[in-house]
Structure 1
């Protein structure tokens, strides 16, 4: 993209009342961004959805002057803008009807033809949620996915940190321009993320910080990836909006189940219950549901699952025995067989053990 093309594309992105969907419609009609701004009022008369308000906003000169200022910021700060028709524009995001016409990026990344996973969740993440996230990414390491999240408190930053720890690429999607960072306390993580991936946003510098920005940011998180994983969520929250957007893009959504008494599992349990997400207990669920052709077997790291009472006793006993028949396991657990069988089924559903030929069981 030439300097002139970038200038007019920036101006189009900034026109009041013209979002990404209408902008793409205009580009399809006029061909080039510059042609839109050099068109006459008569050229817009036959176009649906372009009343006087939008036409005035396009033809005024102020938009171009603001675009010139932003262009200087981009060049000065080594920001790479990616046009939605460029070859290096994220391939999955390109298929989203409301994807940004311009994406501003910083960092060192190569994400096309890569497995892409978005991980989101509550800002009030529990130790259980962090442990699950860390174990999941350790198990995913041989598959080398790119991990996408929103750089916020809680699950987001846990996902970025776990990705860096396992030497995976990670993309942090921001709800503001690249002239600032939020939250400020996460500034210390920027060097690692820039080294292992980078930052994406469609916001200009000096953009007003607003809670509504998070929804706009979330469409990029959902659009970049073939699947979105919700690790923990209260009954309401931004991660549920991201899951809803991912579903609207016909992408897979996974949710980590939790106890019904846990406030930060209510959202995930509801997603699963209402068939808005697939149940996720371990890396094998992802591989199976996404139909990944896995030539190198992932690390069989046991993901963190809360077990209590008799379930915990059965799990620990089986773990110490290696493999065991039901009768032998019942004897060692001091439980009658009729009581042990439903416990084994629950543990299998939780993904912590599996049945083997010969009526044997073993811990995964």
Structure 2
């Protein structure tokens, strides 16, 4: 998009009463933004949603001055622009009826990788949520997914941090313009995030992190990703709004269960109870439900997970991986271990999360 087209696109955004839905109708009808402003009144009236008040707002000349100022900010700060008509617009977001007309971004964002998930949750993350998030992202790392979140306190920033620790691309979708960072205490993460990932927003540089902007931001987080993961949430919270939006967009939603007495597990437990989210206990749950080339990728995940296995544990794991569910006595026989030893080894492997016990003294590899 050249500067003239971008100028008119920004001007269209400043026409009072023209939101994303009407703007996309206009572009679809007239083919270009400049053609929208050149259209006759009778042509504009034919568009559903455009009445006399809106037609009058098209005559407001101040929209062009505002567009000029924003264009100057974009040019001087190396801001990238993508519209819903562009090939590099997030593909899944493009299919959401209320998706943003324009996205502004900074950093080195690449959306070619289709494995893209959002991780959201409470701003008051507990040690339980922290440990789960760390392990979950580490387990997913061999699959190289893009981790999307909102760069807020708590689960958001933790997800970004663990993504960076595992050399994964991570995108912070913010509720304000790219001329600022909110919260300010997170400025220390900006440079590293922009090295492999970055920030995305629909808001102009004149927009502040107002309360209503966060709700609008959440639809981008939910809409651009294949699945939304809620790690911890109280009974009410922004992450539940994101989960509900993801459901409306027909995206997969996962929630980490917790004790019924824990305040920041109540939201997750309710999502699961009301069948608005799948239970998430490990990365393998997500891989299976999303059908991420299971046979190839699970092995890749397991390779990283099992680095800590000793020779005896590895021998048992390899056997279970090949044979499937097996009795304790048979495992001991096939792997050539005495019964008194096999029980202890299996317990250690269970604690490491690489096998699970089943009824009837059966065990299987995870």
TM-score w.r.t. the length of structure 1 is 0.85
Q: CA deviation at 1:358?
A: 8.2
Which residue does 2:308 correspond to in 1?
A: none
Counterpart in 1 of 2:301? 299
Tell me the SS of whatever aligns to 2:254: strand
Q: Distance in 2 between matches of 1:292 and 1:96?
A: 23
Tell me which residue corresponds to 1:86. Answer: 86
Instruction: Give the Å deviation of 1:112.
Output: 2.2
Correspondence for 1:97: 97
- Runs of 4+ in structure 1 deviating by more than 4 angstroms, as ranges, are 355-358
CA distance in 2, matches of 1:125, 1:141: 22
State the 1:208 CA deviation.
3.4
Q: Conserved in 1, the CA contact under 8 Å of 2:15 and 2:60?
A: no
Per residue, is there more helix in 1 or in 2? 2
The residue aligned with 1:305 is: none
User: How many pairs align?
Assistant: 331
Partner of 1:194: 194
Q: Give the distance between the partners of 2:188 and 2:284, measured in 1 at CA.
A: 33
Distance in 1, Cα, partners of 2:35 & 2:199 = 31
User: Equivalents in 2 of 1:248, 1:286: separation in Å?
Assistant: 19
Partner of residue 286, structure 2: 286
Q: Is the 8 A contact 1:243 1:253 kept in 2?
A: yes
Correspondence list, 1:66-85, <5 A:
66-85=66-85
Structure 1 residues 156-185: Cα deviation after superposition (integer angstroms, max 9, x where no partner): 000000000000000000000000000000
The DSSP-based 3-state class of the residue aligned with 2:43 is helix
The 5 A counterparts of 1:1-364 are 1-294=1-294, 295-296=296-297, 297-300=299-302, 325=328, 353-355=355-357, 359-361=361-363, 364=366
Deviations 1:120-161 (A, max 9, x none): 000001011011001001000110000000000000000000
Distance 2:253 2:49 in 1: 33
Are 1:141 and 1:298, in contact at CA under 8 Å, matched by a contact in 2?
no
Match of 2:309 in 1: none
Indicate if the aligned counterparts of 2:83 and 2:89 stay in contact, CA closer than 8 A.
yes
Displacement of 1:356 in angstroms is: 7.0
CA separation in 1, counterparts of 2:122 and 2:14? 32
C-alpha contact (below 8 Å) 2:105/2:200 kept by paired residues:
yes
- Structure-2 separation of matches of 1:84 and 1:109: 16
Structure 1 residues 47-74: Cα deviation after superposition (integer angstroms, max 9, x where no partner): 3311222112222211111011100000
- Provide the C-alpha distance between the structure 2 equivalents of 1:352 and 1:128, rounded to a whole number of angstroms: 19
Q: Which secondary structure does the structure 2 equivalent of 1:171 belong to?
A: strand
* RMSD of aligned residue pairs (Cα, Å): 2.8
